[in-house]
Amino acid sequence: MGRILGIDYGERRIGVAISDATRTIATPLAVIQYVRIEEACRDIARRLEETGAEKIVVGMPISLGGFRGASAHHVESFTEKLKGVVTVPVETWDERFTTTTAEKALIEGGTRRNRRKQVIDKLAAQIMLQHYLDAQAGS
């Protein structure tokens, strides 16, 4: 087993979540704000080292129709750059509705709009990673 980092890629912010060592529970970890993608990849590599994670799962935005649009191409480009910086396996996972689910949970929890902006990305990463963990446990 071993920990997994979950990544919710955005063009300005990246949400990061981490699993426990048994790969049962995902927890929000951080939001990385960046200007250059290389900076973000180095930050993720540092967090990988700090947490001892053995794999990275990046959320892939797939449309309801099952195709990959412009956002998915950005994620693919980011994933390739990340693979060049880290030494652990990097894979993608369907992230449909994770940001919507995260926002709905924050609104229902009474989180103010400015606070939602600060945490939504890492909550979306947590939701995506939890879906991944649940699917792996079921297979």
Show the tokens assigned to 107: 């609104």
The burial class, CB within 10 Å (0-12 / 13-18 / 19+), for 133 is buried
Q: What is the pLDDT of residue 111?
A: 65
The string of pLDDT tens digits covering residues 21-67 is 999 999 999 999 999 999 999 999 999 999 999 999 999 987 666 66
Q: pLDDT band for position 118 (50/70/90)?
A: low
User: In whole angstroms, what is the distance from residue 93 CA to residue 127 CA?
Assistant: 11
* Topology of the domain comprising 4-138: Nucleotidyltransferase; domain 5 (3.30.420)
